Structure 1
């Protein structure tokens, strides 16, 4: 039986590595195996910033991948946590009764939802701001070079 609380926490904490997908769909889930790719690219972008500084062109393209992946997984945790027990059990526990206990919401589920909302929103907005700031700085520098 797939527990909604465990799935919400896995999506929030281990989502960028596909842990929630493996828990719910099994090890054969293709999206679960693809989720670590943007995470790894974003971490590589962070490493490039440490090595080359904030002016590195590739870093401002790669770092938002990590942020958007984390924000998407936080959204998934929120969706899982807010799913009704009937819908949860019909989708992930089809052999169980619709009102089975693994689909019920408890305080740990609410904690996952609240933290996912807080962290996901912060990471999403930070990624958007970082992307736009570096994009516009790049455009200003390109205009400055072309005007000389």
Structure 2
């Protein structure tokens, strides 16, 4: 039996590592194995910023990968948490009854949805702000070089 609350928390807390995919689809899930790649690239982008400073062009691309991965996993946690019990059990527990307890929404599910909404939105907006700010600062600097 695949529990909706467990899946929502795994998507929120361990989503960038693919833990929710492995829980729901098993260790043979290709997307679950691919999720750590953008996570690792984003962490590498953060490391580049710490070592080379904020003017590193590659970090402008790499850091949003981490942010988009975290935001996407938070969105997946929201979708899992808000899924109707009948739909959840039909999709992930097909042998169980439509109203099986594994698909019910509990308070822990609601907390996972709320935290995923708050943190996922904040991470997404911070990633976009960092990337766009660095990109436009770069454009202004290049325009200054051309005008001189």
TM-score (norm 1): 0.99
d(CA) in 1 for partners of 2:64 and 2:145? 26
Query: How far apart are 1:31 and its partner, in Å?
Result: 0.3
Query: How far apart are 1:136 and its partner, in Å?
Result: 0.3
Match of 2:70 in 1: 70
RMSD between aligned residues: 0.5
Match of 1:98 in 2: 98
Match of 2:34 in 1: 34
Match of 2:61 in 1: 61
Q: Does 1:3 align with 2:3?
A: yes
Match of 1:24 in 2: 24
Q: Does 1:51 align with 2:51?
A: yes
Aligned residue pair count: 148
Runs of 4+ in structure 1 off by over 2 angstroms are none
Match of 1:119 in 2: 119
Q: Unaligned stretches of 5+ in structure 2?
A: none
Instruction: Give per-residue Cα distances to partners, 1:113-146, cap 9 Å, x unaligned.
Output: 0000010010011111111101101111111112
d(CA) in 2 for partners of 1:145 and 1:65? 30
d(CA) in 1 for partners of 2:139 and 2:16? 31
d(CA) in 1 for partners of 2:19 and 2:94? 21
d(CA) in 2 for partners of 1:145 and 1:17? 42
Q: Unaligned stretches of 5+ in structure 1?
A: none
Instruction: Give per-residue Cα distances to partners, 1:29-49, cap 9 Å, x unaligned.
Output: 000000000000000000000
**SS of the counterpart of 2:120?**
helix
d(CA) in 1 for partners of 2:72 and 2:6? 17
